[in-house]
Amino acid sequence: DTTLGRGGTAISGGEAQRLGLARGLLSSHGVVVLDEPTAHLDPSMAADVGESVIAALSGRTVLTLGHTAQHDNANVILI
Protein backbone atom coordinates (compact mmCIF):
# COMPACT_ATOMS: atom_id res chain seq x y z
CA ASP A 1 0.00 0.00 0.00
CA THR A 2 3.03 2.30 -0.26
CA THR A 3 2.91 4.97 -2.94
CA LEU A 4 5.93 4.71 -5.22
CA GLY A 5 7.29 7.92 -6.72
CA ARG A 6 5.50 11.21 -7.14
CA GLY A 7 1.78 10.47 -7.14
CA GLY A 8 2.48 6.77 -7.48
CA THR A 9 3.29 7.11 -11.18
CA ALA A 10 7.08 6.99 -11.18
CA ILE A 11 7.25 3.32 -12.13
CA SER A 12 6.96 1.89 -15.63
CA GLY A 13 4.18 -0.38 -16.82
CA GLY A 14 6.57 -3.34 -16.72
CA GLU A 15 7.59 -2.53 -13.16
CA ALA A 16 3.94 -2.25 -12.12
CA GLN A 17 3.27 -5.63 -13.75
CA ARG A 18 6.18 -7.26 -11.91
CA LEU A 19 5.05 -5.77 -8.59
CA GLY A 20 1.54 -7.08 -9.17
CA LEU A 21 2.87 -10.54 -9.99
CA ALA A 22 5.05 -10.49 -6.86
CA ARG A 23 2.04 -9.54 -4.74
CA GLY A 24 0.12 -12.50 -6.15
CA LEU A 25 3.00 -14.87 -5.52
CA LEU A 26 3.42 -13.66 -1.94
CA SER A 27 -0.27 -13.72 -1.07
CA SER A 28 -1.75 -16.52 1.00
CA HIS A 29 -4.94 -16.76 -1.07
CA GLY A 30 -5.96 -20.20 -2.29
CA VAL A 31 -6.98 -18.84 -5.70
CA VAL A 32 -4.76 -16.54 -7.77
CA VAL A 33 -5.86 -14.84 -11.01
CA LEU A 34 -3.06 -13.83 -13.36
CA ASP A 35 -3.89 -11.53 -16.28
CA GLU A 36 -1.20 -11.80 -18.97
CA PRO A 37 1.60 -12.54 -16.46
CA THR A 38 4.21 -12.90 -19.21
CA ALA A 39 3.03 -10.16 -21.57
CA HIS A 40 5.83 -8.29 -23.35
CA LEU A 41 8.44 -10.95 -22.56
CA ASP A 42 10.32 -12.85 -25.24
CA PRO A 43 9.23 -16.51 -25.55
CA SER A 44 12.25 -17.90 -23.69
CA MET A 45 11.87 -15.52 -20.74
CA ALA A 46 8.09 -16.05 -20.71
CA ALA A 47 8.66 -19.81 -20.42
CA ASP A 48 11.13 -19.31 -17.54
CA VAL A 49 8.79 -16.95 -15.70
CA GLY A 50 5.85 -19.30 -16.29
CA GLU A 51 7.73 -22.24 -14.79
CA SER A 52 8.75 -20.16 -11.77
CA VAL A 53 5.19 -18.96 -11.23
CA ILE A 54 3.85 -22.52 -11.42
CA ALA A 55 6.41 -23.69 -8.86
CA ALA A 56 5.70 -20.76 -6.53
CA LEU A 57 1.93 -21.28 -6.69
CA SER A 58 2.02 -25.06 -6.26
CA GLY A 59 -1.00 -26.32 -4.35
CA ARG A 60 -3.14 -23.29 -5.19
CA THR A 61 -5.75 -22.76 -7.88
CA VAL A 62 -4.38 -20.51 -10.62
CA LEU A 63 -6.52 -18.91 -13.33
CA THR A 64 -4.30 -17.48 -16.06
CA LEU A 65 -5.79 -15.15 -18.66
CA GLY A 66 -3.94 -14.52 -21.88
CA HIS A 67 -3.97 -14.01 -25.61
CA THR A 68 -1.30 -16.60 -26.39
CA ALA A 69 -1.61 -20.37 -26.25
CA GLN A 70 0.71 -21.27 -23.37
CA HIS A 71 -0.91 -24.40 -22.08
CA ASP A 72 1.86 -26.93 -21.52
CA ASN A 73 1.13 -27.11 -17.78
CA ALA A 74 -2.62 -26.51 -17.88
CA ASN A 75 -5.11 -28.97 -16.42
CA VAL A 76 -8.06 -27.27 -18.14
CA ILE A 77 -8.10 -24.98 -21.18
CA LEU A 78 -11.12 -22.77 -21.94
CA ILE A 79 -11.51 -21.05 -25.28
78 found inside a domain: no
13 found inside a domain: yes
48 found inside a domain: yes
Tell me the helices (H) and strands (E) count for the chain, helix number first. 2, 2
1 found inside a domain: no
Domain count, the chain: 1
74 found inside a domain: no
Nearest residue to 30 via CA among 58, 53, 59, 60 = 60
Burial class (CB in 10 A: 0-12, 13-18, 19+), 78: exposed
Q: What is the pLDDT along the chain (79 residues), one digit of tens a residue?
A: 677 766 656 777 778 788 888 888 898 999 999 888 888 888 888 888 888 888 999 999 988 887 766 666 666 666 6
16 found inside a domain: yes
71 found inside a domain: no
Domain that holds residue 44: 6-65
pTM of the model: 0.65
